[in-house]
Structure 1
Amino acid sequence: MIRTNKKRLRPRRILPSPDQVVRYGVGLDVHKHVLACCVSAQIRTGEIIAVKSHSFRVSPAGLHEFTNFLQKFRPLHCCLMECTGVYHIPVYHHLQKCYHDTTTRIIAMNPLLLNRRLTDLGTKEDKADARGLASLSLYDQLLRPSYVGDLAFIRLRDSIRSYHRTRIKTTQLINRMKALLDGENLKYAFNFKKEWVLKLLDCFFNHDCTLEEAFQKQIANQTEHGRSITILEKQCNTLGEYATFRLNPVHGFYFPCVLVNICMLIH
């Protein structure tokens, strides 16, 4: 029996004519270097048909090519994308700049909410993300835009978040240092937010000396550089029983490491 290799013919997709299209919707699957785009059309019967899929580079030239590609589809009702870290931000702002004076909606949605909506429409798969988003973009009642501010807002938000993370991390390290010193039975009230305290502890941790000797070395260093020593002398007189305290050499490496981290976060 002779077998012939025949290609299986797929049914040809019939695209709607421009007169049949009520509006177009665009789904964008944004990655670090690639932007996957799918365009769907809603025809007069209410049916939603996938019209065109294409991929672009996420670069200035690639985004310019992408917006030229979208000019073919009018009226463009919505461009829908997922909030993917920072990758969606340049695409979102580029589209906002191109469609700021039209009725086209540029929407970035929360991933959790977006996945829930896509599940309602069908199974969500990585290869079908852009197509699913294109279909979802034409369901106005299911869309819930997330707020994406301008670049100034984003930089300010990131700075505030970084500040709070730094504060939390600094507090954790200071509490760890206090616990370490308490474990050594050194319960002198150090204020770790003072620069002179950090310099004093740096001298104390890195030299085999008593706490009073560390004070005296710090006083001599301040005097040599012509700086005030009033606070150091006053604190040195309040050492009491901790004046002769000497750090266990076993912890001579760990203490300076924690102190360095505190200094980096504070300064």
Structure 2
Amino acid sequence: MKFQRIGEHGAERPIVVDGEIAYDLAPLTGDIDGDFLASGGIEATALALARKRLSPITIEGLRVGAPIARPQAVWCVGLNYAAHAKESGAPLPDAPVLFFKTPNTVIGPFDDVLIPRGSAKTDWEVELAVVIGRRARYLDSVDEAMDHIAGYTISNDVSERAFQLEQSGGQWSKGKCCETFNPLGPALVPRDELDPGNLRLRSFVNGESRQDSSTADLIFDVAYVVWHLSQYAVLEPGDVVNTGTPEGVALSGRFPYLRAGDVVELEIEGIGSIRQTCRNAG
């Protein structure tokens, strides 16, 4: 069971894909958002499928949107793979490094990424993204965290490294919040259908391998990240948490930064793959 939003930007409709068949979710919800997740929408969908209460629909040729609508926050964890910290020239963190993306950076998984004006260092980052399903506030233990997760998807935490590190003024968000800098998708996979602690994740640029790692190498695992963040802020249903990227980005110096015309592909086993073409911002 995978949840998607299909259609033109601003007019996406919610669907669920079960096996090879897509079903219209309109009888259950107007969108896949925080309200849907918090009200037991995933469980209601499974029940409706079992009782054959949803109608099959054809989605061939339609645009795929981000799988979650209108996240009120996009939380990001940096330097969460040891090898990536090393290639970035940073020491291993003692606690999760937190930064933010603005929610309007979120785009569909196959939408174009815009190279910002004046950019020479736009970079790719494949990441496992966590979607919050229940409000998480001062969780008492790491063991509680999983119950507050709705599911998982793929994030490309696109970054402009000069903006992030050379023009930052002391924090990273200038290099993280450019328009189109968070492709997300292609689907939201429910929490119980994946083991987030052992997923292969890869990235490619113009068909050439860049990143190839596993979430088993996370410094702070998914449950710990959600628990930790809940000690400092309230995570709301529909929030997205990007959990960090492994080694193999352009910042390492081993690969060129992105230019207009480049094609970035990212995949995580059990979720699928996403693909963006880069073009210059107008």
TM over 0.5: no
Q: TM-score, normalised by structure 2?
A: 0.21
Q: Whose radius of gyration is greater, 1 or 2? A: 1
Q: TM-score, normalised by structure 1?
A: 0.21
Judging by fraction of residues, say which structure has more strand.
2
Judging by fraction of residues, say which structure has more helix.
1
